[in-house]
Chains A and B, each alone.
Chain A
Amino acid sequence: MGKKMGKKRQKIVLPPELPPEIPDEAVEVSDEDVQFVSENQEYTGFMSNLDTKTINKQVTRVADVKEDELESLYERRLKKKALDKETEKQGLEVDPVDALPVKTLDGKLHYRTVPKATQKSENEDKDEDNTNNKDAGTDASVVKRTKAEKRAQLKKMRKEAKKHSKEVAAVEDVEQIPHAEVLDEVRKDMTAEEANEKKKFRLAELGTALLTDPELNIKSLKEMLEISKDGDRDIVVLALKSLLAVFRDIIPGYRIRLPTEKEQEMKVSKAVKKMRFYESTLLSAYKAYIQKLIAIEKQDVYKRVAVRCICTLLEAVPHFNLRENLLAAVIRNISSEDDISRKLCCATVKSLFINEGKHGGEATVEAVQMIADLAKAHDCQLHPDSIEVFMSLTFDEDLGKHEAQDASSKFKSKNAKRKNLKEQKVLAANERKRTRKEMMSKTLEEVTAELKAASLATDVTERRRMQTDVLSAVFETYFRVLKHALKPRSEAGSSPELAGSHPLLTPCLNGIGKFCQLIDLDFMSDLMNFLRKLARSGNDSDGSSKDVSACLTVSERLQCCIVAFRVMRNNLDALNVDLQDFFIQLYNLIIEYRPGRDNGEILAEALKIMLCDDRQHDMQRAAAFIKRLATFSLYSGSAEAMAALVTLKHLLQKNVKCRNLLENDAGGGSVSGAIAKYQPYATDPNLSGALASVLWELNLLSKHYHPAVSTLASNISMLSTSDNQIHLSNKSPQQAFKELSLEQESFSVKVDPKNSNAKRGKGNASLKHNSMGPDLDLTVQVDENAVKSKLSEHYSLLHDIAENERLRRELAETTLSLNLHEQYKKQRKRRTK
């Protein structure tokens, strides 16, 4: 304050109003004046009120008094100017506390000055809008409010500012007292709401200041943290978000390591000191912030905000200190019931997995291990999303090769060395000297080469180690899920409604399918065992396994089969293993499949992988599958039927012997093997004796209401036993299924009204079918009229037939009675004769 006074005094001395110092006696009062006074006595009233003492004082020290007066005058007049300057300065370096009350004086003024100041100092913000945005952005940058909201907020702020600008006017007189005190007083006067407004502005200021020059303003982080401890919810949220924005920008691209005591004792240059101070402040503030976030995350009110902040931080700066805490919080929420926070967490973890370069892969290891622990702790009752994130993991399969190469090269170099040594011994003594130089240079080269190799190798081994960790954690989780799915219901958990469900099984199976080429061969047998048990789990034929989680759906069991085949396919090219058990399961699952309930695409995939892609089949098994697929396509929807028929055709084309099924004469004898009769209820395809039967289903199918199915069926029945050409169908069951299931929505049953008699039965069948599938209701409505007319025709015909029969019966009765009457007459005549 003193400094400012000095400034003002210097200015004040200059003005010309200063009256000259004249002795009292020298003052001459003119006659006119005396007269005026005497005439206007009333005007002189003020003379009596005059404080003579002060006047005397004034008389003695005129200049001083004048200066005092002037000062207050100036104070008032120049206030704006001075404060303007202050704010400008504050934008640059001054502790911002002083600037605060100015803004409360006049809200509008504040709004113009702050952006200006930032504009001047930053030179980055392009236009005012931008700065405004940024201003608001520090409070709300992350929220991404809509413009309308923002505008409303601004309006509110302005109104309030105006309101208390009046109030502050009253306090204006006290302005001479230091700003901080004024601030305190004003604060006391203000209502809580206004205080909140102030805090918002403060946040904005601090935020921009920090972003402008983080090194200078690093201390204001603490103030922002203070604000975030406020009781008001909005303020806390804003504070957290502005802190997030700040941290995201100022956190360096390296991990901060606090200096040890030894290092602190050492003498360092000023710059280093400054840097250390900056880093330690930043780190402590960051720590406090994260602790706050983690603490607040447990409260329901703040949960989403906290989770959002944590996720954004983790995504932006996964390399920085305290990552573990952030990660733990994220993983904790990865299966939360709240959709938004769960999605956020999942996205964060996925981005961690994908952008491994940001953190060198360590975060991936930690995250995966944490998820594994989470699954363990919750007994696999998590949301599927939490396991699904594993799908975005990537593994570099070339790592092993690099290492192997290095090892071999190392080995070679060692060998070379040994050889050198041997040669050295062999060399004659006189030659030694000459060769020593060569040897030196050679060894030097070798050493450098080895060094290089070693450094590279450590890097690779490190990465390899991390990958191994990740993989083992991932598979640990997968195996846990599989094991859990195998558990009987009674053991599965305390809550009964959760016990039966296996939410994680589907993503787990998907994951195994994706990473199966990475499974250790030692695990393979266990994995296959699990899959076999799971696939078998719903099978009633096995008494022991019936109670073992019979709740697995057909789709899930089909998926087990698919995964098993994938695993085998990807790993074991060397040995062709026949997965008999899974074929048995598929054979039974085809029957259990229900079009509405189960996923047809999975079935199509299973058919493709298990039946179409596999190279060889037993004749018996192939025949059994052919028979079963034909049966299946009789009672399923057109899309499923199509997929089944495509598979059937494929099988028939590959297994020439099975074409016996197409012959009209039931086989049997030596061809059909031990089982002389087809047994439709056999659970094992090998024991069904399907070769002894005939594919009569194809004949029915060729009258299928769907033209594609009927043409394919008649095509298949044309395949002759002698025709040995192999023209494999280019369509896979999956494609066929997809095409038809898409088409199904638009497909309507075309009925030819002309030959309605011939098609009647079929029309009825299709009607029944349509009413089964809810997605086909549309087509039913479309055809309603046609169907109505058909039905009426049908019933009238039935009625006619009934009528006809009745009439015939009557006719027969009358003829009979007539005959009787005749006979009676004849007998009578005879008697009379």
Chain B
Amino acid sequence: MRPLDEQETTQVFEKLHKFVGNNLKNIVENPSHEGPDNSPGRYCFRLQKNRVYYVSESLVKRATNIKRDNLVSLGTQLGKFTKGGKFHLTVQSLGLLAENAKHKVWLKPTSEMSFLYGNNVLKGGVGRITESISEHDGVVVYSMSDVPLGFGVAAKSTQDCRKMDPNGIVVLHQADIGEYLRMEDDL
């Protein structure tokens, strides 16, 4: 377990920024209230076996007691660095993203299932969409009752979505909560 270096931090923050925009500040400055200390600590980012975790400071202190090889996981996993050195967000980060999401898409109940099987979001399945999404922005996908289902990348801007036919792709799938079942072993 080690803190992220300069380059890794930029990569992580850039990725997060796509989803949460200026709310990234909230993620970094969020008080943790964990541990016995009276003063609320902060959250920090830690890298462990290529995976990036979002951990409270008090937890980090405790985790130092455990040998690196034996430490399986700590805090909330945000994503992982691939072998090629790229950073990918994983489904565990959904909660954090959903709280601070800037761009949202709400799915009609009929198309929820399709998304949870790992398919892209089509225009016909969109119940509602935030205005001013531009292409390649990170989008969090919700059900109509405001339950976060997953996230992805906008295939088209909101403007272009208007002109699209119902079968056009609005959001490219990146992660969804169905993965907890489908890819139980990989997570």
Q: Please name all residues of chain B whose beta carbon is closer than 8 Å to the beta carbon of A532 when the two chains form the complex.
A: 132
A580→B131 contact, CB < 8 A = yes
B99→A673 contact, CB < 8 A = yes
B161→A575 contact, CB < 8 A = yes
From residue 801 to 831 of chain A, which have CB atoms closer than 8 A to chain B?
none
> B158 at interface (Cβ–Cβ under 8 A)?
yes
Q: Please name all residues of chain A whose beta carbon is closer than 8 Å to the beta carbon of B14 when the two chains form the complex.
A: none
What is the total number of residues of chain B having a CB less than 8 Å from a CB of chain A?
A: 25
> B154 at interface (Cβ–Cβ under 8 A)?
no
In whole angstroms, what is the CA distance A474 to B30 when docked?
A: 49
**Least CB distance, B174 to chain A, in whole angstroms:** 21
Closest to B133 in A: A577
B131→A577 contact, CB < 8 A = yes
> B129 at interface (Cβ–Cβ under 8 A)?
yes
> A525 at interface (Cβ–Cβ under 8 A)?
yes
Q: Which 8 A-B pairs have the closest CB atoms?
A: A674-B99, A576-B128, A525-B159, A578-B130, A577-B131, A579-B131, A580-B130, A578-B128
A521→B128 contact, CB < 8 A = no
Q: Please name all residues of chain A whose beta carbon is closer than 8 Å to the beta carbon of B159 when the two chains form the complex.
A: 521, 524-525
> B61 at interface (Cβ–Cβ under 8 A)?
no
A-B contact pairs, 18 of them (CB 8 A): A524-B159, A525-B159, A532-B132, A575-B123, A575-B126, A575-B129, A575-B158, A576-B128, A576-B129, A578-B104, A578-B128, A578-B129, A578-B130, A580-B131, A581-B131, A618-B146, A674-B30, A676-B33
> A602 at interface (Cβ–Cβ under 8 A)?
no
The one of B99, B126, B128, B158 in contact with A616, judged by C-beta atoms closer than 8 angstroms, is: B128
Q: Please name all residues of chain B whose beta carbon is closer than 8 Å to the beta carbon of A347 when the two chains form the complex.
A: none
Q: Please name all residues of chain B whose beta carbon is closer than 8 Å to the beta carbon of A572 when the two chains form the complex.
A: 162
In whole angstroms, what is the CA distance A532 to B132 when docked?
A: 10
From residue 659 to 688 of chain A, which have CB atoms closer than 8 A to chain B?
673-674, 676, 684, 687
Closest to B108 in A: A576
Q: Please name all residues of chain B whose beta carbon is closer than 8 Å to the beta carbon of A102 when the two chains form the complex.
A: none
B162→A521 contact, CB < 8 A = yes
Given contacts A528-B132, A575-B129, A676-B33, 7 further A-B contacts (CB under 8 A): A572-B162, A576-B127, A576-B129, A577-B128, A578-B104, A578-B129, A580-B104
> A250 at interface (Cβ–Cβ under 8 A)?
no
Q: Please name all residues of chain B whose beta carbon is closer than 8 Å to the beta carbon of A618 when the two chains form the complex.
A: 146
> B23 at interface (Cβ–Cβ under 8 A)?
yes
From residue 59 to 103 of chain B, which have CB atoms closer than 8 A to chain A?
99-100, 102
Q: Please name all residues of chain A whose beta carbon is closer than 8 Å to the beta carbon of B26 when the two chains form the complex.
A: 687
A687→B161 contact, CB < 8 A = no
> A182 at interface (Cβ–Cβ under 8 A)?
no
From residue 124 to 152 of chain B, which have CB atoms closer than 8 A to chain A?
126-132, 144, 146
Could you list which residues of chain B lie within 8 angstroms of chain A, going by C-beta atoms? 23, 26, 30, 33, 99-100, 102, 104, 106, 123, 126-132, 144, 146, 157-159, 161-163
In whole angstroms, what is the CA distance A532 to B162 when docked?
A: 19
> A574 at interface (Cβ–Cβ under 8 A)?
yes
**Least CB distance, A522 to chain B, in whole angstroms:** 8
**Least CB distance, A526 to chain B, in whole angstroms:** 10
**Least CB distance, B87 to chain A, in whole angstroms:** 23
**Least CB distance, A265 to chain B, in whole angstroms:** 60
In terms of DSSP, what is the predominant structure of the interface of chain B?
A: mixed
In whole angstroms, what is the CA distance A293 to B61 when docked?
A: 90
How many inter-chain contacts with C-beta < 8 Å in the A-B complex?
58
**Least CB distance, B181 to chain A, in whole angstroms:** 22
B128→A574 contact, CB < 8 A = no
A577→B129 contact, CB < 8 A = yes
**Least CB distance, A577 to chain B, in whole angstroms:** 5
In whole angstroms, what is the CA distance A619 to B144 when docked?
A: 11
Q: Please name all residues of chain B whose beta carbon is closer than 8 Å to the beta carbon of A673 when the two chains form the complex.
A: 99
Q: Please name all residues of chain B whose beta carbon is closer than 8 Å to the beta carbon of A525 when the two chains form the complex.
A: 157, 159
In whole angstroms, what is the CA distance A431 to B158 when docked?
A: 62
Q: Please name all residues of chain B whose beta carbon is closer than 8 Å to the beta carbon of A619 when the two chains form the complex.
A: 146
**Least CB distance, B155 to chain A, in whole angstroms:** 14
In whole angstroms, what is the CA distance A404 to B131 when docked?
A: 32
Closest to A684 in B: B23
Q: Please name all residues of chain A whose beta carbon is closer than 8 Å to the beta carbon of B106 when the two chains form the complex.
A: 576, 578, 616
In whole angstroms, what is the CA distance A605 to B84 when docked?
A: 55
Q: Please name all residues of chain B whose beta carbon is closer than 8 Å to the beta carbon of A684 when the two chains form the complex.
A: 23
The one of B23, B128, B157 in contact with A687, judged by C-beta atoms closer than 8 angstroms, is: B23
Flag A461-504 by CB within 8 Å of B: 1 or 0 each: 00000000000000000000000000000000000000000000
A574→B130 contact, CB < 8 A = no
Flag A512-534 by CB within 8 Å of B: 1 or 0 each: 00000000010011001100100
In whole angstroms, what is the CA distance A575 to B129 when docked?
A: 8
Q: Please name all residues of chain A whose beta carbon is closer than 8 Å to the beta carbon of B132 when the two chains form the complex.
A: 528-529, 532, 580-581
Closest to A576 in B: B128
Q: Please name all residues of chain A whose beta carbon is closer than 8 Å to the beta carbon of B161 when the two chains form the complex.
A: 575
The one of B33, B100, B158, B163 in contact with A577, judged by C-beta atoms closer than 8 angstroms, is: B158
A578→B127 contact, CB < 8 A = no
Closest to A621 in B: B146
Closest to B145 in A: A619
In whole angstroms, what is the CA distance A522 to B102 when docked?
A: 24
Flag A625-643 by CB within 8 Å of B: 1 or 0 each: 0000000000000000000
Q: Please name all residues of chain A whose beta carbon is closer than 8 Å to the beta carbon of B163 when the two chains form the complex.
A: 521
Q: Please name all residues of chain A whose beta carbon is closer than 8 Å to the beta carbon of B100 when the two chains form the complex.
A: 674, 687
Q: Please name all residues of chain A whose beta carbon is closer than 8 Å to the beta carbon of B23 when the two chains form the complex.
A: 684, 687
From residue 543 to 579 of chain A, which have CB atoms closer than 8 A to chain B?
568, 572, 574-579
In whole angstroms, what is the CA distance A674 to B123 when docked?
A: 30
In whole angstroms, what is the CA distance A618 to B161 when docked?
A: 22
Closest to B123 in A: A575
In whole angstroms, what is the CA distance A568 to B131 when docked?
A: 10
Closest to A571 in B: B162
In whole angstroms, what is the CA distance A529 to B157 when docked?
A: 14
In whole angstroms, what is the CA distance A575 to B127 when docked?
A: 8
**Least CB distance, A543 to chain B, in whole angstroms:** 12
Most chain B Cβ neighbours within 10 Å, of A528, A577, A580, A618: A577
A616→B144 contact, CB < 8 A = yes
**Least CB distance, B178 to chain A, in whole angstroms:** 22
**Least CB distance, B154 to chain A, in whole angstroms:** 13
From residue 603 to 628 of chain A, which have CB atoms closer than 8 A to chain B?
616, 618-619
**Least CB distance, A686 to chain B, in whole angstroms:** 8
Q: Please name all residues of chain A whose beta carbon is closer than 8 Å to the beta carbon of B157 when the two chains form the complex.
A: 525
Closest to B130 in A: A578
Q: Please name all residues of chain A whose beta carbon is closer than 8 Å to the beta carbon of B102 when the two chains form the complex.
A: 580
Q: Given A521-B162, A525-B159, A687-B23, are A577 and B130 also a contact pair (CB < 8 Å)?
A: yes
In whole angstroms, what is the CA distance A574 to B23 when docked?
A: 30
In whole angstroms, what is the CA distance A525 to B102 when docked?
A: 18
In whole angstroms, what is the CA distance A687 to B33 when docked?
A: 18
Most chain A Cβ neighbours within 10 Å, of B33, B106, B130, B131: B131
Closest to A575 in B: B162
**Least CB distance, A258 to chain B, in whole angstroms:** 51
In whole angstroms, what is the CA distance A532 to B158 when docked?
A: 15
**Least CB distance, B42 to chain A, in whole angstroms:** 15
In whole angstroms, what is the CA distance A525 to B162 when docked?
A: 11
